[in-house]
Structure 1
Amino acid sequence: AVMPVWYIGSLVLVAIWAAAGRHHDSTGLVVTAGALLLLSVIMSILLLVPINNRNKTWTPDNRPADWKKQLNRWERFHYVRVAVIIAAFALLVTALT
């Protein structure tokens, strides 16, 4: 429930930062970080949420034969998303210095 607010809030703050600092040398880093955060949102919506939604309906009696494969796929996508978010915030920290 918190993630959509966190994602949207981060994107809005990065957009404000990029607009306010558009004449600074670090603006490219901020814009790139914003693009990475947007990528993480797109990954969540297109890759992770569908698997999550299917997983919520599974019980031991009705889960598909490849349920472990699907959960492993979700984990791989999640790790990539976390790496993208870490890269975005690393760029933001770099832009501050």
Structure 2
Amino acid sequence: MLSTLQVVTTVTVGLMVGVEFSVAVIMSRILDALPGDGRQQGHAHGGRLLGALMPFWYGGSLVLSAVWAVAAWDRSGTPLVVVAAGLLLLSVLMSVLLLVPINNRNKNWTPENRPADWEEQLGRWSRYHYVRVAVIIAAFTLLVTALV
């Protein structure tokens, strides 16, 4: 049972890392290259789509890693899982406090109602997102290391 939990947790976090890394490195560049209002509209659509999914993914990853830490408390590698869970908690806090407020504004913007500083706000979101991606990559790395 513990092995199944470890695999499910690692795959779940790994997929989340892949999606978020793709958003940071690939999708943002694609959206930023769109002409006219396409850039802002693409970011708004992405914010609506991923904004609906990611709370469950981040929360689920945190819960799975915490359950793994408790279930394997007396085994080697558990300190790594505990630190990974702490990093995932940090990523959730970063999301709620820094990224979600910007995303909640952005997902409702249109070319007619967006604020004058919309590009600055998207830039700030991107910088926070890069840090969050680094945090979840570190968590994923610790989970994988705990397996070996």
* TM-score greater than 0.5 by the shorter chain: yes
In the superposition, the TM-score normalised over structure 2's length comes to: 0.62
Q: Deviations over 1:55-84 (max 9, x none)?
A: 123222332222111100001111111111
Q: Which amino acid aligns with 1:63?
A: R
Q: How many residues align?
A: 97
* Cα distance, 1:24 vs structure 2: 1.7
Q: TM-score, structure 1 length as denominator?
A: 0.91
- For structure 2, list consecutive stretches of 5 or more residues without a partner in the other structure: 1-51
The RMSD of aligned alpha carbons is: 1.2
Kindly indicate whether structure 1 or structure 2 has the higher relative contact order, using CA contacts under 8 Å at least 6 residues apart. 1
- Please name the residue that 1:8 is paired with: 59
Provide Cα deviations, 1:10-35, integer angstroms capped at 9, x if missing partner. 11211111111111231110000000
CA distance in structure 2 between the aligned counterparts of 1:82 and 1:61, rounded to whole angstroms: 32
Q: Does 1:65 align with 2:65?
A: no
Counterpart secondary structure, 2:112: coil
Aligned to 1:51: 102
The 4+ residue runs of structure 1 with deviation greater than 4 A are none
Letter in 1 for 2:147: L
Gaps of 5+ in 1: none
* Counterpart check, 1:17 vs 2:68: yes
